[in-house]
Amino acid sequence: MLRFFINALITAWLGFLAAATIEIHRPASLADVQGLSATDKPTAPDLLDRIEQTIWRRNEILELSETEVNHYLASSLNGKQQYPSSLLTKFECVAVSFKPGLCRVWLCWKTGERPVTAAFDFRISRD
């Protein structure tokens, strides 16, 4: 009888652990990221030319919006995987989110039919 209760307790604990793992690995919502709503690939804005012109002028401040950067990334980045990882995952997009003092870069891909995301945070400061 004691063994049954111990096995039931271990089974319940493993179930809660599995549920917590699934909850942790849910993909992030990118609803607040601007510039991702386009369904087809937009033409790339000429950001590299703007950056080059700003470098030559030296006194000008370059400001890029979240929408411009995300449109540029959507039109210029293409993920391609080689066998065997191509059977398991498919690259979707890279997105950038700007917040005051923070730049978050999102990597998005699909494993099977399940969306997966990873985020990298960069702190921005002027010293």
Concatenated DSSP letters for 4-49?
A: HHHHHHHHHHHHHHHHHHHHHTPPPP-TT-TT---SSPPPPP-HHH
Which SS3 state, helix, strand or coil, does residue 69 take?
A: helix
Q: Which of 99, 55, 91, 100 is nearest to 73 (CA)?
A: 91
23 or 1, which is more confident = 1
CA angle 71, 52, 121 (to 5 degrees): 50
Rounded average pLDDT over 72-76 = 81
Residues 6+ apart with CB under 8 A from 106: 28, 30, 33, 93, 94, 95, 96, 97, 117, 118, 119
39 pLDDT exceeds 70?
Answer: no
User: Peptide bond before 84: cis, by omega within 30 degrees of 0?
Assistant: yes
pTM of the model: 0.64
Average pLDDT over residues 9-38: 71
Rounded-to-integer distance, Cα 26 and Cα 63, Å: 33
Q: What is the mean pLDDT of residues 38-65?
A: 72
What pLDDT was estimated at residue 45? 62
Q: What is the pLDDT of residue 65?
A: 84
pLDDT tens-digit map of 85-120: 777 888 888 889 888 888 889 888 888 788 888 888
